[in-house]
């Protein structure tokens, strides 16, 4: 159980006791506890970390990403470094434009909302709002890094993956910013 979840020995012992030695149930208990712990750590300052790069084969695509942690001890940890590499590769593969939905400019959201409303204008008014909200959620899942499915495990989002790393390492971790360059493409703002 410890190997599978990365949880501490005593946490595993308590979870197994609570689950009456059922490994599957104990793992669920630890995952729920990890998500709760990660939520508590979210408000803590993360000013350490690292900047990493990823250059795709053929040198036609490159990514720089900054991921922060609370301490440089965690920033040097192999699991943290692996997470940062995963994030850089995710950015290269999935081409997000923003880290989280709060980063998307209001003008972009308004333009998308207007398009979606025009697409469903013949529907009943009460259905329009739900459809537009659903389409906006789908839009966010393509342009916002934290809402994208993780390319190495599409069952989870990047946010879920981040939460599991926070629970495993015991510190707040923040994907601060990134830049993605592709040969021949104009960059926003250039």
pTM for this one?
Answer: 0.72
pLDDT tens profile 21-54 = 898 888 888 777 765 454 455 555 566 889 999 9
Q: Are the CB atoms for 90 and 142 separated by under 8 Å?
A: no
Round to whole Å and give the CA distance between 76 and 78. Answer: 6
Instruction: Report the alpha-carbon distance of residue 118 to residue 35 in Å, rounded.
Output: 39
pLDDT in tens, 141-151: 999 999 999 99
Residue 88 neighbours by CB distance under 10 Å? 22
- Residue 72 to residue 66: CA distance in whole angstroms: 14
> Is the CB of residue 162 less than 8 Å from the CB of residue 145?
no
Q: Write down the mean pLDDT value for the chain.
A: 86
Tens digit of each residue's pLDDT (9 = 90 or more) over 49-88: 899 999 998 899 999 999 998 888 888 899 999 999 999 9
User: Which run of H or of E encompasses 177?
Assistant: strand 173-182
């Amino acid at each position: 159980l410890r190997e599978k979840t990365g949880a501490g020995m005593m946490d595993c012992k308590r979870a197994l006791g609570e689950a009456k030695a059922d490994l599957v149930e104990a793992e669920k208990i630890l995952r729920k506890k990890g998500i709760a712990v990660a939520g508590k750590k979210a408000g803590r300052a993360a000013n350490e970390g690292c900047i990493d790069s990823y250059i795709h084969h053929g040198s036609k695509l490159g990514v720089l990403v900054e991921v922060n942690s609370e301490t440089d001890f965690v920033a040097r940890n192999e699991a943290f470094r692996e997470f940062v590499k995963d994030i850089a590769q995710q950015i290269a593969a999935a081409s997000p434009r923003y880290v989280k939905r709060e980063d998307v400019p209001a003008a972009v959201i308004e333009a998308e909302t207007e398009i979606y409303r025009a697409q469903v204008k013949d529907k009943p008014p009460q259905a329009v709002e739900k459809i537009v909200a659903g389409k906006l959620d789908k839009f966010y899942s393509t342009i916002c890094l934290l809402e994208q499915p993780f390319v190495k495990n599409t069952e989870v989002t990047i946010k879920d993956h981040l939460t599991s790393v926070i629970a495993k390492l015991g510190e707040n971790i923040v994907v601060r910013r990134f830049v993605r360059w592709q040969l021949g493409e104009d960059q926003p703002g250039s």
